Amino acid sequence: MNTDLKNFALAWMRIALMALVPVMFTAFVALPQALGRHPGEPCPITACAEQQAHMS
């Protein structure tokens, strides 16, 4: 592989990875912590009745 192409690919991958880190943190850490459960998990009936219908 050409050295310039390799340097470009590595720089691009670093930027793409650093752009995905905040998205992954929000999706897998911040939202489940705010909701008290993962978004796809069913919640107990009593917990759903106590929570508001939306997050805004």
Does any domain span residue 7?
A: yes
Tell me the pLDDT band of 14, cut-offs 50, 70 and 90.
very high
Confidence of residue 34 (pLDDT cuts 50, 70, 90): confident
Closest CA to 13 of 22, 2, 23, 21: 21
Number of domains in the chain: 1
Q: Which residues form the domain of 17?
A: 3-50
- Cα dist from 29 to 1, 3, 56, whole Å: 38, 38, 18
Biggest alpha carbon–alpha carbon distance for the chain: 61
Has residue 56 been placed in a domain? no
Residue 32 pLDDT: 81
Q: Do 13 and 6 touch, CB atoms closer than 8 A?
A: no
- Note whether residue 55 is domain-resident: no
Q: What is the pLDDT of residue 30?
A: 84
Does residue 35 have a pLDDT over 70? Answer: yes
Q: Is residue 29 part of a domain?
A: yes
Residue 29 has a pLDDT of: 84
Checking if the pLDDT of 56 tops 80, the result is no
Q: What is the pLDDT of residue 19?
A: 96
